[in-house]
Amino acid sequence: MDIAANRFVAVLGFAEMIIAVSLFLYSHYFKLDALQKYFEGNDAVQHTNRRWPGNRPMDRGMRMSQIAMFLLFPKSYIRRGEVSGKEIASVPLSLKRWATWPYYFAIQFFAWVFICDVLSEL
């Protein structure tokens, strides 16, 4: 690739990273408490709340990532018995989106970095 294409790819990747980090921070600090209300009776979520009880970014991130994984891959967690279908269905669609979109952006960002690395080798 030429220099202009490399700059464009770098700017696009940086913009996507900024969007992903912004979505992560917003969802961790403004949507986590609302999401945890839907999983109050869940043993796995309560264990994670005891393990990561604070308000530091890492604590909130660990609690949010568990709930997001329930929402990203519900069938596998229902099959394992860690969450029920009723708990997943009780979460409103808007909260599901706030919990999952940052992770979709992160997956897309890492795929983008991998593809750019492979293309730069050509």
40-96 pLDDT tens trace:
999 999 999 999 999 998 999 999 999 999 999 999 999 999 999 999 999 999 999
Find out whether 108 and 23 touch, Cβ atoms under 8 Å.
no
- Is pLDDT of 28 > 90? yes
Please tell me the pTM assigned to this model: 0.83
- Is pLDDT of 105 > 90? no
Q: Three-state SS across 7-54?
A: HHHHHHHHHHHHHHHHHHHHHHHHHHHHHHHCCCCCHHHHHHHHHCCC
